Amino acid sequence: MLAKLPVDVLAAQQGTELAAGQVPRRVGRPRAPGAEPTLDGGQRLQVIDTLACVIEGAYCHLPQKRAGYAVDPVQALQLLRRRCVDMTDGEFHLAVTGLVTGLRDAHTRYRGPATVRGSVAALPFLIECYGRDQQPTFLVSKLAANSGIRKKTFVPGVELLHWNGIPFARAVDIYAKRETGGRPDARRARALESFTFRALDYGPPPDEQWVIVGYRTLDGDDDEVRVPWRRIMPGAAGTAVQPSSGVRLKVAADPAREAVRRAKKLMFAPALWQADQARTAAPAGDWLPTEMQDTIAARLISTRRGELGYLRIWSFDVDDHEAFIAEAIRLLAQLPDRGLIIDLRGNPGGLIWAAERLLQLFTPNTIVPTRFALLASPLTRAMAASPFNRLELEAWTASLENAIATGELYSQPLPLTEPDWCNDIGQRYTGPVLAVADSNTYSSGDLFAAGFLDNRIGPLVTVGQATGAGGANVWSDRLLRDALTGTPYAFAPLPAGVGFTLAIRRAIRSGPADGIPIEDTGIPGIRYAITRRDLLEGNCDLHDFCADLLAGQQT
């Protein structure tokens, strides 16, 4: 039976079946002339030459990726250049996507043709795992109310056994090879997170048009269900960073993961998804009402140590950091000061200012923000010297010039958040605090976790080995094109709406970890393994674990 939802939300949830739509098949011959944009040989060369130029000259992790993964993306692009004219369009996009994904950097993405812009291929259920890394158990943790799946035994809690006939753990590992992530555990976590939600802007659509899912029912029987992939358009929240915003150059986020996060919200919390569009505070169980529910939420939780405050930061994707901080202060004032859990799991990042300024609310310490460095190259020197970028990059200019003589690979690292702004409000929550992150806590989420430790605010608990390890400020191709205007590296708009995002300024930790990069390593914390009860009973074991740590902090 369908849940009662407005027609437009239902339509958004349903989307269209991937098999019926016009989604470009990125592999294989075009189905019909004009069915999808195709790039001619000259346009493919333009894409390759542009990518080679900016990856060599502006990609801030290039030395690290060359060393860490023994890859040379620039040479790979040159090789692709020699054969790209003979490829099908699908083969070309897939080759470029694979090459860029091989950098294992969720900031740095190849964005395919405009026909798929904003869409996510989705299955109406969420898969999560619990147990040890080496022996995980996969289960369906959420099922959309309007899933359309008729099998009554396919419900939250069923254990997954097979995926199109492949043992499930193996299927995840195969898919993980297509995913970003510096560490194997991070890749697997990302693969699992996007296993049933694929952001089509940044990767190919699923190979299959439907899946056959083998599962063990709650009664212990084995069963199968066939579920078609659907294409949905989750959109962005009204509070998200706008393309023309004054803060658009201060973003650290995984755009694909943000799209997936929004898609999950549409599927599993459609009322909140709708409220995001209207920028209203929708009632949501025992959560405190907030108009910024897309990014932040708070409530009381019961633990074996009593009631604690719980602050969930879903994302830092906000255009107005002042409003975000003000809302956090308002919510914190309604929580008890016995202890606070700040949950950053799955946070794909967003506005750096929002993440770094938030830290001050939880500590009397002076916050030292993360610093960011540009790759020292002729391109970045020309970019920093351009009068169009003086406001943004003037502070980096001298060290970029000096690098010619010193041989430094990077400019001087400087904060993107003014230190004064990180300390302009002061502590607003005086009780003990603890942060929880996981391998899908990324980018500005990484920055918050790093700042939480490096400024000695409290302990960090990590599900998985560490946070997701996205250590950079990321720009879109549009922002980079804008910044290179008037320089010898200026490039034309790419054809068919093709684009990219690029890690442009590399994040360096402060405090006791001063100088350590975040990319690929992430922020390790106190390890915690998710339990079955966590997945099916509202993270109750995790909350108890955190409550014990907070109790220890108090003593």
Determine if residue 337 is left, alpha or beta; phi over 0 gives left, psi from -120 to 50 gives alpha, anything else beta.
Answer: alpha
Distance CA 88, CA 26 (A): 9
Name the residue nearer to another protein (CB basis): 250 or 257: 250
Among 90, 415, 458, 522, binds another protein (CB under 8 A): 415
Tell the smallest beta-carbon distance from residue 97 to another protein (Å): 22
Which three-class secondary structure state does DSSP give residue 529? coil
Tell the smallest beta-carbon distance from residue 483 to another protein (Å): 11
Quote the tokens at residue 316. Answer: 């830092």
Closest of 58, 444, 106 to residue 251, by C-alpha? 444
Name the residue nearer to another protein (CB basis): 42 or 165: 42
Tell the smallest beta-carbon distance from residue 140 to another protein (Å): 41
421 is a site residue for another protein (CB under 8 A): yes
- Footprint of another protein on residues 319-348 (CB under 8 A)? 322
Name the residue nearer to another protein (CB basis): 6 or 243: 243
Segment near another protein (CB under 8 A); pick from 51-59, 185-193, 279-287, 476-484? 476-484
Name the residue nearer to another protein (CB basis): 18 or 400: 400
Among 82, 420, 515, 555, binds another protein (CB under 8 A): 420
Instruction: Give the x/- contact pattern for another protein in 242-271, rule: CB under 8 A.
Output: xxxxx-xxx---------------------
Name the residue nearer to another protein (CB basis): 76 or 325: 325
Closest of 348, 360, 350, 361 to residue 316, by C-alpha? 350
Tell the smallest beta-carbon distance from residue 247 to another protein (Å): 9
Q: Which uninterrupted H or E stretch holds 322?
A: helix 321-332
Name the residue nearer to another protein (CB basis): 223 or 482: 482
Residue 249 phi/psi, 5° resolution? -90, 0
Which three-class secondary structure state does DSSP give residue 78? helix
Instruction: Give the x/- contact pattern for another protein in 59-88, rule: CB under 8 A.
Output: ------------------------------
Distance CA 454, CA 472 (A): 17
What is the DSSP-derived secondary structure letter of residue 465?
S
Name the residue nearer to another protein (CB basis): 1 or 391: 391
Name the residue nearer to another protein (CB basis): 97 or 370: 370
Tell the smallest beta-carbon distance from residue 497 to another protein (Å): 9
Half-sphere exposure (CA, 13 Å, Cβ side) for 474?
28
Name the residue nearer to another protein (CB basis): 486 or 524: 486
Instruction: Give the x/- contact pattern for another protein in 353-382, rule: CB under 8 A.
Output: x-----------------------------
Closest of 528, 527, 517, 162 to residue 375, by C-alpha? 517
Distance CA 332, CA 340 (A): 9
394 is a site residue for another protein (CB under 8 A): yes
Name the residue nearer to another protein (CB basis): 239 or 386: 386
Among 31, 83, 279, 390, binds another protein (CB under 8 A): 390
Instruction: Give the x/- contact pattern for another protein in 479-518, rule: CB under 8 A.
Output: --xx--xx---x-xx-------------------------
Name the residue nearer to another protein (CB basis): 97 or 487: 487
Residue 220 phi/psi, 5° resolution? 95, 5
Distance CA 149, CA 147 (A): 5
Name the residue nearer to another protein (CB basis): 26 or 509: 509
Tell the smallest beta-carbon distance from residue 298 to another protein (Å): 24
Tell the smallest beta-carbon distance from residue 237 to another protein (Å): 18
Distance CA 251, CA 318 (A): 10
Give the CA distances from residue 341 to residues 208, 312, 444, 521, 523, in Å, rounded to whole numbers and listed in that order: 40, 8, 18, 24, 17
Name the residue nearer to another protein (CB basis): 339 or 415: 415
Quote the tokens at residue 49. Answer: 């030459």
- Footprint of another protein on residues 294-323 (CB under 8 A)? 322
Give the CA distances from residue 431 to residues 335, 356, 543, in Å, rounded to whole numbers and listed in that order: 10, 20, 16
Name the residue nearer to another protein (CB basis): 415 or 525: 415
- Footprint of another protein on residues 188-247 (CB under 8 A)? 242-246
391 is a site residue for another protein (CB under 8 A): yes
Is-contact 270 5, C-beta < 8 A? yes
Give the CA distances from residue 241 to residues 4, 104, 209, 315, 318, in Å, rounded to whole numbers and listed in that order: 31, 25, 33, 11, 5
388 is a site residue for another protein (CB under 8 A): yes
Segment near another protein (CB under 8 A); pick from 83-91, 160-168, 275-283, 475-483? 475-483
Among 74, 414, 529, 540, binds another protein (CB under 8 A): 414
Per the DSSP assignment, residues forming a β-bridge with 425 are none
Residues 349-387 as b or e (16 or more Cβ within 10 Å = b): bbbbbbbbbbbbbbbeeebbbbbbbbbbbebbbbbbbbe
Angle of the 390-406 helix axis to the 378-385 helix axis, nearest 10:
140
Among 387, 407, 488, 515, binds another protein (CB under 8 A): 387
Which three-class secondary structure state does DSSP give residue 258? helix
Total residues contacting another protein by CB under 8 A comes to 34
Closest of 464, 465, 424, 416 to residue 444, by C-alpha? 416
Which three-class secondary structure state does DSSP give residue 316? strand
Among 173, 401, 408, 544, binds another protein (CB under 8 A): 401
Binding footprint of another protein on the chain (CB under 8 A): 242-246, 248-250, 322, 353, 386-388, 390-392, 394-395, 401, 414-418, 420-421, 478, 481-482, 485-486, 490, 492-493
